[in-house]
Every structure is written in C-alpha cells, then in structure tokens.
A = this chain, B = another copy of it.
Amino acid sequence: MNSTPTRQPGTTAREIGDMLERLRNHVPMQRWVVRAGDVLYTIGARFTSLFVPNSGYFKDVILTADGREQVVGLHFKGDWLGFDGIAEGRHGCNAVALDTGEVWSLSYEHLLNASARQPDLLTALHAAMSRQISRDHELMLALATLPADVRVADFLRNWTGSLAERGLRTDKITLPLTRAEVGSYLGMTLESVSRALSRLDGADVIRVDNRFRRDIEIPEVAALTGFIERNGLAAAVR
C-alpha cells in the first residue's frame, strides 16, 4: 500500500553512524576532503579501494561514445562507492564529488583482511552492495515506467528520503545537481526537468526558489507521494 517503508526516524541514521564508527576503528583508511568536481576514480583506473562518504554528495557517471555523460548513481553519507571495479579490477565509471565533503578511502584488500577478524565488516560490505542493487532496480523501474513529471517527483522523494534517513532536514533542500545532471540520471532532457519542476510547483507539490533555483521547498513529502501515486501508474510493491 505505502510505497516507502516508514522506519523509526533516526534509526537508520544511527545504523549509518555505527557502521562508520566500526570502519574507523577496524579498517585502515585515508580521509580526503573534496570539493565540487573532484574525482575519486575514473573509468579504467585500477581498482584498489572502496570509498565511503562521511559528508557531501557524489555521482557515478559513465561516458558515452559521443562524449556526453550519463549519471548512473548518486551517493550520500555512509553509502559505498566503487563496487563496479571489483570484478574486473578496473573501475567502470567515474566518481565525482558534487560539493564539498569528506570521503574515506578503504583498501579493499585491507578491508577483507580486517573482516576475517571482524565479520561485521563483511556484513556491512554485503549489505551496502545489496542495497545498491535494490536501488538500481528501483531506478530502472522509474526509468522504464514513469512519465517525466512523476519521475522527477519520485527523484525528489528519494532524495528527501535519503536526507531523512540521515537525520537531515527535508523541508528545504538544495540540489547539488544541475538540471542537466538530474535529466541524465532520469533519462530526460534538462528542459523536461525544468518543465516538470515548474509543473510540480504549479501544482503546489513543491516550491522552487525564484532566485536560487536549486533550492526547493518540500513542505510535506506526502504531497510528493500523493502526486506520484495519482499520476504514476507504477510504484514498487514492498
């Protein structure tokens, strides 16, 4: 019936905090402070490490033959980046910081060694990979079935959902993405993203700031969910 499983507020935030704590205590790591545009790894680069943001936002992008970018993933605090490199030993996408933040770099080998004595670590690793796969499936569902406006609404709901899980405010958000990046992620043009946002604004589902147009007010997430359920034929049953 309901589309996003409602969890105790703060529960996930604590889980993420605990996980980060465990990593800090048991795995050797390097901390990097990054600024918008900084690159964690690029396509073809030798895979040695996984990355876990402690703050900031990050994107995964594939490069297309004609030189444009396709955004295939977005990451928040406590997410893991770099899984796609494990199989072949080389990364399959670029990972780029979307704003200022801190990211931890964990040697995959060291992580595996540490997990021999600390099985929690392996559990956390597997859970992170599993979650990424589930999220990818949900994105596919959105790409494959939702009309443009609903896709944007769904994107905003997921974004606020991720913020909420981390105990951050969701009534006023600032997207660290251009319209073009959102469009790439959602499989539509930047113009369509802009129009969708305008229509959501017109329908009083959100309010787009007149001046700083990446600032978006979402007084109640329920309005977004309602819009999605009314206009999108699809929503995953859970």
Q: Which residues of A contact B (CB under 8 A)?
A: 3, 43-44, 60, 62-66, 68, 70, 72-73, 83-88, 92-93, 112, 116, 119, 122, 126-134, 136-141, 143-145, 184-187, 229, 233-238
Question: Can you pick out 26 interface pairs between chain A and chain B where the beta carbons lie within 8 Å of each other?
Answer: A62-B138, A62-B141, A63-B237, A64-B233, A64-B234, A65-B233, A65-B235, A65-B236, A65-B237, A70-B140, A70-B234, A83-B133, A84-B134, A84-B137, A86-B126, A86-B127, A87-B126, A87-B134, A88-B134, A116-B116, A129-B129, A136-B140, A140-B187, A143-B144, A144-B185, A145-B187
List the B side residues contacting A128 at CB < 8 Å.
87
Is A70's CB under 8 angstroms from B141's CB?
Answer: yes
> Contacts A63-B237, A86-B126, A237-B43; is A139 near B141 (CB within 8 Å)?
no
Is A64's CB under 8 angstroms from B236's CB?
Answer: yes
A63, A73, A86, A185: most-surrounded residue (chain B CB, <10 A): A86
List the B side residues contacting A139 at CB < 8 Å.
140
Q: Complex formed: what's the CA distance from A139 to B62 in Å?
A: 12
List the B side residues contacting A235 at CB < 8 Å.
64-65
> Contacts A116-B116, A130-B84, A238-B44; is A65 near B137 (CB within 8 Å)?
no
Those 8 A-B pairs whose CB atoms lie nearest each other, nearest first: A144-B187, A86-B130, A87-B130, A64-B234, A136-B136, A65-B235, A143-B143, A87-B127
Is B236's CB under 8 angstroms from A141's CB?
Answer: no
| Nearest CB of chain B from residue A205's CB, rounded to whole Å | 19
A133's partner among B84, B112, B126, B185 (CB-CB below 8 A) is B84
Chain B residue, CB-CB nearest to A63: B237
| Nearest CB of chain B from residue A106's CB, rounded to whole Å | 14
| Nearest CB of chain B from residue A99's CB, rounded to whole Å | 23
Q: Complex formed: what's the CA distance from A70 to B137 in Å?
A: 10
List the B side residues contacting A144 at CB < 8 Å.
70, 143, 184-187
